[in-house]
Structure 1
Amino acid sequence: MMSLGADQMTLVPMVLAAILLALATAFCLLWPLRGGMAVTGRSAQALSKQIYHERLAELNADHMASRITAETYAALKLELDRGLLADNQQVADQSSRPLKVGGLALALLLIVPVASVALWLGVFLSPGLAKDTHNAERLAPTIDKLLAGQDMAEQSPDASLPDFMRALQRRVQADPHNGEGWLTLGLGFMQAREFGPAKEALARAVELSPSDIQVAMTYVQASIMSQQGAMDSLAANLLNGILQREPDHQGALLMLGMGSLRAGDNATALAVLTKLRALRAAMPAAEADSAADQRIAGLIAEAGSAGEVTAAADTLYRIEVTLAPELARAIPADATLFIFAREPAGMPMPIAAVGQPVAQFPMSIALNDRHSLNSARLLSSFADVVISARISTSGDATGPGWQAVAVPVQKASDQIVRLRISEKVEAR
């Protein structure tokens, strides 16, 4: 007896389900066409004959009792005979129709299974899907070991990264509440340098394992890599949470320093990276890593030089943002604060803009030429600007949130620009 392979055994339930579905569909189509019209026609013929005999008996009784004349009797009986003949002709016409319905039923009985098989062969057994199904079965033991944290030495040598990723995606979709599966999927996407999908998978892993530092750090890394060094609000909140629990976590300090530097917060970057360098200097010589130390030194130098430029340019506009007391509980933790500088009367496009995660109010921001959106339109080249502030709940500068009343400012003014967030706005 011929035995079925593993892949064929996997397809057996699907094939049986397809056959049953085709038969059920054919039954639903054929049931209304099962010949009910013929049955209805025979019932109508019998009823017509019964009415004819009853009316004929009444006519005979009236004629025998001399209630109607012979001429009237003959006329009424002729009309009654004609009615019976017309009813019989109508039933005969209707009785011929089930032959056509039967042909339609036979056609449907043949077409539905054939169309189902054609659909199965053309779509569900397409070469691409069949290959994915085969890969999923072939790599299942490897994925099981990977998710269990075991040795992957038995991984198939011919398994490419795309094949492995598709098989892993199938497994994660089958068990969407497995945080380890989402983490592994995110790491795989990062290895393939697909940082967008990696970030989405790792965000789900963070949601399922909010207290896992490894998951949080992996998401932060994916966030920084997908945004050319910048951090989103979730990454910043995760780093702050890690450092509250472990103030000397070197990985979190490095990520926070890099993210702050790319966001233009040089003071925070310099403080965090300086602390990190001190922690590494206190480590035993056996644990020293000269390459890492040189990288940190380079980041500190970058933050320091940028800080000097910023300090010289900070005299442009110093901004303090406060929040209306009634909004204190309404602002979500992952909201973003945006500061804009625009021409008093000109293009709606801002001259300069800066965005950063919402922190403790009041918030102080320095706006300078480094925040200019166009090198041909530097902030310092405008004598007068209008400065505004907006809190976005979506992380998008045009998203819904709250805003402050814009304030016109002259460049020569040394006063702090004070903005108060108080007005709710919808998305632009």
Structure 2
Amino acid sequence: MMWMLAAAVVLLLLGASLWWQWRREARRAGRPTSGGIGIPLIVMVLAVAGYLLVGKNEHTVAWLEHQESYGDAARAIVAGRAPDMAAAEIPAGAMARVLQSQLSRTPSATGWFALGSLYDQLGAPAQTEEAARKSLALDPQSTTSHLLLARALIEKAGGKLNEPAREEIQWVLDREPTHDGAWMLLTMSADRAGQFDVAISGWESLLSRHENGETGDLLRRGLENSRMQKARQGVFASLSAEVSGNNLPAGGTLFVYIREQGSSGQPLAARRQVVPAFPATVSLSAENWLQAYPSEDTDLVIGARYTPAPGAAVDQAMIGAGPVPLSLPQQTPVSLTLSAQ
């Protein structure tokens, strides 16, 4: 608040100085000066208005307070030094804003990595990716920045390993073959993506170095689960439904889902697609599974929802086909008929 008041005072003094000089020159030239009072009045009005408008902005006050409280910490991070304040004392959101401001003036690889880590903590993968790339532009050999970028790409893909993320992780493993953090990121994201051969290789690599104690037990359970999921993958690799829409306009959005019988919430698998015509055949493959494959004795159902609006969300799909039992292994597509709910 003090800087805004000081700015207003400076503007007033500047206006008064300009008015005094204008009046002196006008008298020398023999011109009238009676209207000259308008100049400082205009400056005064502008100064007061600016003070009031900026001073009443709730975000400005908070931003200035954060700059004052955490500015030294941000400058230390950008310079590659440990800040005097403990990380637990600094809110992540506030620190991200202050650090972003500091990096716009003095960019550094360490600073961009720190900012990316804050965005990762805040659950903002797009901003994490941008900061990680800027860090790598300044320091292409940074292992931590390559892994941060990989993590951002995985988070953007819903926690699943994709090829760009795998390339970043592989860059690290080519240089540090026993980097546990890289192996764990690769293994967990590959498991979620249904890339079970990659996940199994990752568990085995980790177990070769950490086979004892509680850590070894957790890794063995992970390995066993990936092997079981791989064995079940063939059963769920290609499931399909033929969906009919009697007297329904085509061209809308169709959602086909699989869930455990009697369950609610997130389905086990789901696929969304635009329907050019009815009947429409929809296939669900491994990439459409949102959760782990269920065990053999799990009772499953398959159903559908539809909205005539193309590109709509599932909560807008008010036309449905009630779920029917799904028998495995599937021999023929399940028949579903849509009707208004």
> Same fold, TM exceeding 0.5?
yes
Conservation of the 8 A alpha-carbon contact between 1:206 and 1:219: no
Conservation of the 8 A alpha-carbon contact between 1:142 and 1:154: yes
2:284 is aligned, of 341, 352, 357, to 352
Q: CA deviation at 1:178?
A: 1.9
Conservation of the 8 A alpha-carbon contact between 1:341 and 1:351: no
Q: CA deviation at 1:213?
A: 0.8
Q: CA deviation at 1:305?
A: 0.7
Task: Output one character per residue of 1:331-388: Cα deviation in whole Å (capped at 9) or x when no partner.
Answer: xxxxxxxx999999646684325669xxxxxxxxxxxx97xxx94377946459xxxx
Residue type of the partner of 1:134? Answer: E
2:68 corresponding residue in structure 1: 137
1:120 corresponding residue in structure 2: 51
2:227 corresponding residue in structure 1: 304
Does 1:294 find its partner at 2:221?
no
| Alpha-carbon distance in 2 for matches of 1:167, 1:344 | 50
1:211 corresponding residue in structure 2: 141
Conservation of the 8 A alpha-carbon contact between 1:142 and 1:155: no
Conservation of the 8 A alpha-carbon contact between 1:340 and 1:354: no
Does 1:266 find its partner at 2:196?
yes
Q: 1:380 to 1:115 in 2, by over 3 A?
A: farther
Conservation of the 8 A alpha-carbon contact between 1:342 and 1:348: no
Conservation of the 8 A alpha-carbon contact between 2:110 and 2:135: yes
> What pairs with 1:164-175 in structure 2 (closer than 5 Å)?
164-175=95-106
| Alpha-carbon distance in 2 for matches of 1:20, 1:198 | 46
Conservation of the 8 A alpha-carbon contact between 1:182 and 1:201: yes
Q: 1:311 to 1:130 in 2, by over 3 A?
A: closer
Residue type of the partner of 1:307? Answer: K
2:208 corresponding residue in structure 1: 278
Task: Output one character per residue of 1:56-92: Cα deviation in whole Å (capped at 9) or x when no partner.
Answer: xxxxxxxxxxxxxxxxxxxxxxxxxxxxxxxxxxxxx
Pick which of 339-348 and 139-148 moved more.
Answer: 339-348
SS of residue matched to 2:210: helix
1:73 corresponding residue in structure 2: none
1:376 corresponding residue in structure 2: 303
Task: Output one character per residue of 1:201-256: Cα deviation in whole Å (capped at 9) or x when no partner.
Answer: 33433444332111122333344456553134432220122223333332222211
Residue type of the partner of 1:165? Answer: A
Task: Output one character per residue of 1:86-112: Cα deviation in whole Å (capped at 9) or x when no partner.
Answer: xxxxxxxxxxxxx9xx97x86576335
Does 1:252 find its partner at 2:179?
no
Number of matched residues?
260
1:146 corresponding residue in structure 2: 77
Q: 1:127 to 1:306 in 2, by over 3 A?
A: closer
What is the TM-score when the length of structure 2 is the normalising length? Answer: 0.57
| Alpha-carbon distance in 2 for matches of 1:340, 1:222 | 25
Task: Structure 1 unaligned segments of length 5 or more: list them.
Answer: 1-6, 35-98, 282-287, 318-338, 357-368, 385-428
| Alpha-carbon distance in 2 for matches of 1:313, 1:355 | 10
What is the TM-score when the length of structure 1 is the normalising length? Answer: 0.47
| Alpha-carbon distance in 1 for matches of 2:214, 2:42 | 71
**Higher alpha-carbon Rg:** 1
Conservation of the 8 A alpha-carbon contact between 1:224 and 1:230: yes
Conservation of the 8 A alpha-carbon contact between 1:340 and 1:353: no
Conservation of the 8 A alpha-carbon contact between 2:233 and 2:286: no
Conservation of the 8 A alpha-carbon contact between 1:139 and 1:156: no
Task: Output one character per residue of 1:253-274: Cα deviation in whole Å (capped at 9) or x when no partner.
Answer: 2211211111111122212322
Task: Structure 2 unaligned segments of length 5 or more: list them.
Answer: 27-31, 241-270, 294-300, 305-325, 335-341
Q: 1:268 to 1:344 in 2, by over 3 A?
A: farther
CA RMSD of aligned residues (A): 4.8
Residue type of the partner of 1:351? Answer: S
| Alpha-carbon distance in 2 for matches of 1:245, 1:269 | 20
Residue type of the partner of 1:216? Answer: H
Conservation of the 8 A alpha-carbon contact between 1:341 and 1:353: no
2:296 corresponding residue in structure 1: none
| Alpha-carbon distance in 1 for matches of 2:88, 2:192 | 41
Q: CA deviation at 1:159?
A: 4.9
SS of residue matched to 2:68: helix
| Alpha-carbon distance in 1 for matches of 2:151, 2:196 | 20
SS of residue matched to 1:351: strand
